Structure 1
């Protein structure tokens, strides 16, 4: 049997996704059932244990396929990037209603009603998806109203289909000083490949989740001499975005933030501890 990447293919000895039937060994194969993330952000783990570190995160409104439910956990595959893992069952809800809008600012607040003076209920990240039922205006402030009556400041969301063609580097720049979080993929905390993926997501483009996946197949390989805005540089286990040929944006464990850094300075700093860059890629022609 062929060995598949368990980050992207759901299979265990007792159960596997139906698309892998005949390709992997498992006692049972299932199609799975759709669900949506019902909490602001939730970690996806390699095992159903809160003590395990997260591989990635899913955001409010994102769709998953659920293959198994047991002991308060769900084994799922994310629709956006195909990542497989475990999350608490109470983090999921039914598939409907279908989200209509997406949060475009790094962070925004969810209010109990259209009134900014009210205590906010929670914080939503860039990339969160919501279903807008109506709109409201109070003292000149415009809000979108969700089905349960909660509200978001209207300028912080856009219709999902209205994002294509935006500059993903500019979007990554909005996340400057966001705290670094291993496995993070939100405006509350993010890692290097999560920054690339989330920024591209906001332009309607798909990107693999992890740095090794991005280095292997995101766009095309290029030479250092060809670098321009939007290109990527990879180290072993790390990725950064070129803001211009001399400057990178990256979520990193040195500053523990999303930071802007001179590229040659970063090469010298990282090289003294780890290795030199392993390659460069242009994600879009």
Structure 2
């Protein structure tokens, strides 16, 4: 019988009752399912160790992150992040289906999302560095340039760069987070821990690494 402990459960979706269909023959589980593609629609989504709001946070997912969903039950989705492979539970209200491919990534620690291309509008949300969006148009209002998203919402154009365009120095990226509050499990400009900082800075410089060193 396959050894259920042979793979790291932080990075592979398996439990005794349910597992990723790609792991069939490698782990023991009562049932195997293929993950359903979905995308994070919240500014920041806590990925928890168990399906309850007081469970510990493994890591966080950012707006636009793609995931595979293996189960939805009682308001929680059991997912695996496609970007770095981490597995955990997120609130199912933070998920939407995938439609258009993202074109740009937020390249400043924090930025406001506006309901349209005008910074005088009340903000519609906030996005962190590393969030990905689909830009479909450009606009200028009173000399400020905006990137207009597929939703019709807008971001300051200078706060984005094209996906695939990497920063030259991950240390310089990390330094932009000076003064950001420490948050255990955090991965965003609103709160971050040491592992999340290294992972995000390296990602913005074109190098994908895990947040755990073991």
| TM-score, length-scaled by structure 1 | 0.72
Question: Over residues 95-128 of structure 1, what are the superposed CA-to-partner deviations in whole Å (9 max), with x where a residue is unaligned?
Answer: 1111100000000000111111111111100000
Whichever structure has more helix as a proportion of its residues is 1
Of the candidates 19, 23, 27, which is equivalent to residue 20 of structure 1?
A: 23
Larger radius of gyration: 1
Q: Measure, in 2, the Cα distance between the counterparts of 1:22 and 1:143.
A: 50
Following superposition of structure 1 onto structure 2, how do residues 21-100 of structure 1 map, counting pairs within 5 Å?
21-100=24-103
* Deviation (angstroms), 1:194: 0.4
CA distance in 1, matches of 2:151, 2:94: 17
Inter-partner Cα distance in structure 1 for 2:100 and 2:93: 17
**1:71, CA displacement in angstroms?**
1.0
Q: Distance in 2 between matches of 1:61 and 1:177?
A: 25
Alignment of 1:228-239 (within 5 A): none
Alpha-carbon deviation of 1:53?
A: 2.1
**Normalising by the residue count of structure 2, what TM-score does the alignment of the two structures yield?**
0.96
Q: Partner of 1:8: helix, strand, or coil?
A: coil
1:186 pairs with one of 188, 203, 206: 188
Gaps of 5+ in 1: 214-285
Deviations 1:136-182, CA, capped at 9 Å, x for gaps: 0011100000112110000000111112x521111001111110000
**What SS does the corresponding residue of 1:80 show, helix, strand or coil?**
coil
Q: Unpaired runs of 5+ in structure 2?
A: none
Which residue matches 2:204?
A: 202
Q: Which has the higher contact order (CA 8 A, sep 6+)?
A: 2
Q: Runs of 4+ in structure 1 displaced over 4 angstroms?
A: none
The separation in 1 between residues aligned to 2:196 and 2:94, in whole angstroms, is 20
SS at match of 1:9: coil
Q: Contact 2:109 / 2:129 at 8 angstroms: preserved in 1?
A: yes
